[in-house]
Structure 1
Amino acid sequence: MKKLFTQPGILRPALIITLIFMTISLSNAQQGKPAQSGYAPVNGIKVYYEVYGEGKPVILLHGAFMSIEGNWAQVIPALSKTRKVIALEMQGHGHTPYSDRPLTHANMARDVEGVMDYLKIDSADVVGYSMGGSVAYQFAIQSPKRLKKLVIISSTYKSTGWNPEVNAAIKTFKPDFFNNTPMKTGYDAIAPDKTKWTKFIEQMIVFAARPFDFGDDNIAKITAPVLIIAGDNDGIDKLELAKTYKLLGGGVSADLAPMPKSQLAIVPAQGHVSLMMQTDVILGYLNAFLK
């Protein structure tokens, strides 16, 4: 591990992602066995899913390079006490096989709808973290009738929604940065084809570096209530985040006008990684907003 720190200017990006994977995965909470799991054949690939609990459905979308357990192990046990929790692993992640199919937000959002069709779910609340949050925004735009409420955790609908240093760091990613890391160990433990590791990393690097913008007009058209949760120092540009909230109807003077249906929560003293570790805080916001 010491070697990773010898050239911080070069290796820091990969180290950040490795720490995200390692920190969130190192959880004492156990999500238990799913009531149902398997593969949904959608859009030319097979998407792995797990289902926990009973009640109104809520779909969980993980961050880049992660898995269901790595992202949601602390959240699922509590959330599934009152809800039917459906967690997906997106293209090439976790148990879902690698595919040469173009890796895009639009394709992954269509996969979410495909899994819903497979599980016979008409509509659901959707919660996305980081990359999963961007996919959730795209899902809201593409499939508005399938969405009840939307929760975005430390994410954005456009690449310029990240601070410039985050985008600069992403451009330095190289496949060999990720070898001999806990991320590689996690991939080998559950990936259906371990030989696809390098192709998966290369595909993800191209995806992460590609600029995207779903459009202010499209965000303003989202009619479902939206809860945005961000850390005060999580890499999201807070000026852009404030603009996003206004597009969703927020930022009013609630003493002079009705309280907006969407909400914004800025959690103090939190970064992109540490925010997702604040399980009680995240669950408190989720339960209050989704009920």
Structure 2
Amino acid sequence: MIRTAIIAGALFVTSAAVAQSGQTVPVNGMEIYYEVSGEGDPLIVLHGAYMNIPSMGAIIPRLAETHKVYAIEFQGHGRTTDIDRPITYPHLADDVAALMDAVGLEKADVFGYSMGSAAGLQLAIRHPEKVDKLVAASVSYDVSGFQPAFAAMIPSMTPEMFVGTPMEDDYRKLAVNKDGFRALVEKLIALEHEPLAWGAKVAALETPVLIITGDADVATLEHAVAMFRLLGGGEMGDMGAPLPASRLAVLPATSHTAVIGQVDLLHAVIEPFLQGETPKGMFDQ
């Protein structure tokens, strides 16, 4: 869930990948922007911090080949307005739940990346009746899982790391309030300092979760494995017991910002999970 200036390159490389069209709906005092594409079972897509729908790149149209995709822009991001409220994961999750109510979507699969993955996790925790399956790419459920280098950097984050950079220029292209970038940065820096200790709640989830992580992601590999074990995974699969509903995928040679651009790899693990397909072993009949 890294949210620093190093993600700027990922934003600009993918910024033209998805058509910028859609609509807004009033939710919790904001006008939340979303786009609908494709046909099939509903799938909500949630972007990372400082991002928007276009910067999620080609994974959205790829998923829309087999799903009705609802791509959402969070509070203060993209074309969604900001309000006088902190950005927290529970707030983001409740916004998604309220948007689902507003558009008549009772239940859906959810795919979140980075900040969006933590928001999706909170959606499954706080509104389990609304989430069928959750795909969480580059997710953390506890601050102890951050890479040491990232954890050490959080206290030094300041708005000046972002304000006046190309990231602000990119923000202005879509923002309703062209001068709202600093306020957004301040909220996202504050988000880094929010308590993050959801282990017990993750262990209590009944929602199937696909954890996707890069092998050089912002959270450690040990953290991804620990989350998988909390969800019932990690046991030997050829001893007669059924495979767990949750899954773990590790993308090779992949940093945090490289996760979202690996469309073929992402699709290859996401689609079978959403369809309930599993590889057959030699003992399967």
> Is the pair's TM-score, using the shorter chain for normalization, greater than 0.5?
yes
Q: Which amino acid aligns with 1:64?
A: A
The alpha carbon displacement at 1:240 in A equals 2.2
Q: Does 1:160 align with 2:144?
A: yes
Structure 2 unpaired stretches of 5+: 276-285
Alignment of 1:178-193 (within 5 A): 178-193=162-177
Identity of aligned residues (%): 38
Residue 69 of structure 1, aligned match among 46, 54, 68: 54
* Structure with more of its chain in helix, by fraction: 1
Secondary structure of 1:277's partner? coil
Which residue of structure 1 lines up, in the alignment, with residue 281 of structure 2? none
Distance 1:199 1:81 in 2: 37
Paired position in structure 1 for 2:158: 174
**Counterpart in the other structure of 2:243:** 259
1:53 aligns with 2:38: yes
- Matched residues, number: 273
User: 2:19 maps to which residue?
Assistant: 32
CA displacement at 1:280 relative to structure 2: 0.6
2:43 partner amino acid: V
SS of 2:205's partner is coil
What SS is found at the alignment partner of 1:86? strand
Aligned-partner Cα distance in 2 for 1:25–1:46: 25
Name the aligned partner's letter for residue 52 of structure 1: S
Structure 1 distance, partners of 2:98, 2:235, is 37
The separation in 2 between residues aligned to 1:77 and 1:241, in whole angstroms, is 27
Conserved? CA contact 2:46–2:73, under 8 Å: yes
What's 2:217 paired with? 234
**Structure 2: how far apart are the matches of 1:168 and 1:97?**
32
SS at the partner of 1:232? strand
Aligned to 1:81: 65
Alpha-carbon separation, structure 2, partners of 1:281 and 1:218: 29
Contact 2:34 2:71 in 1 (8 A): yes
Q: Would the alpha carbon gap of residues 249 and 118 (structure 1) be closer, same or farther in structure 2, given more than 3 Å must change?
A: same
Instruction: For residues 169-205 of structure 1, give each alpha carbon's deviation from its aligned partner in whole angstroms, at most 9, with x where no partner exists.
Output: 1221111111332211111111101122211111111
SS of the residue corresponding to residue 281 of structure 1 reads: helix
- What residue number does 2:95 align with? 111
Q: Is the 8 A contact 2:137 2:211 kept in 1?
A: yes
**Retained in 1: the 8 A contact 2:20–2:54?**
no
Displacement of 1:23: 2.1
Contact 2:89–2:119 (8 Å) recurs in 1: yes
Once the two structures are TM-superposed, the CA of residue 157 in structure 1 deviates from its matched residue by 1.7
Matched-pair contact (CA < 8 Å) for 2:59–2:260:
no
Question: After the TM superposition, which segments of 4 or more aligned residues of structure 1 sit over 6 Å from their partners?
Answer: none
In 2: Cα distance, 1:237 partner to 1:194 partner: 36
Residue identity matched to 1:200? L
Aligned to 1:101: 85
CA offsets, 1:203-244, max 9 Å, x none?
111112223222x22111211211111011112122222111
Partner in structure 2 of residue 11 of structure 1: none
| Partner residue in 2 for 1:202 | 186
Contact 1:141 1:222 in 2 (8 A): yes
Which residue of 1 is the match for residue 10 of structure 2? 23
| Structure 1 residues not aligned, in runs of 5+ | 1-13
**How far did residue 49 of structure 1 move?**
0.9
Shifted more, 17-26 versus 47-56: the winner is 17-26
SS at match of 1:250: coil
Distance 1:175 1:30 in 2: 28
The amino acid that maps onto 1:181 is T
Kindly indicate whether the alpha-carbon contact (under 8 Å) linking 2:49 and 2:116 is maintained by their aligned counterparts in 1: yes
- Separation in structure 2 between the aligned mates of residue 45 and residue 175 of structure 1, nearest angstrom: 23
1:42 maps to what in 2?
Answer: 27
Cα deviations by residue, 1:133-181 (Å, 9 ceiling, x for unpaired): 1111100000101110000101112222211221221221111111332
Distance 1:240 1:227 in 2: 14
2:121 to 115, 137, 152: 137
Taking structure 2 as the reference length, what is the TM-score of the superposition? 0.91
Aligned-residue RMSD, C-alpha:
1.7
Please give the TM-score of this superposition, normalised by the length of structure 1. Answer: 0.89
CA change 1:200–1:282 in 2 (3 A) is same
How many Å separate the matches in 1 of 2:208 and 2:273? 9
Structure 1: which amino acid aligns with 2:207? A
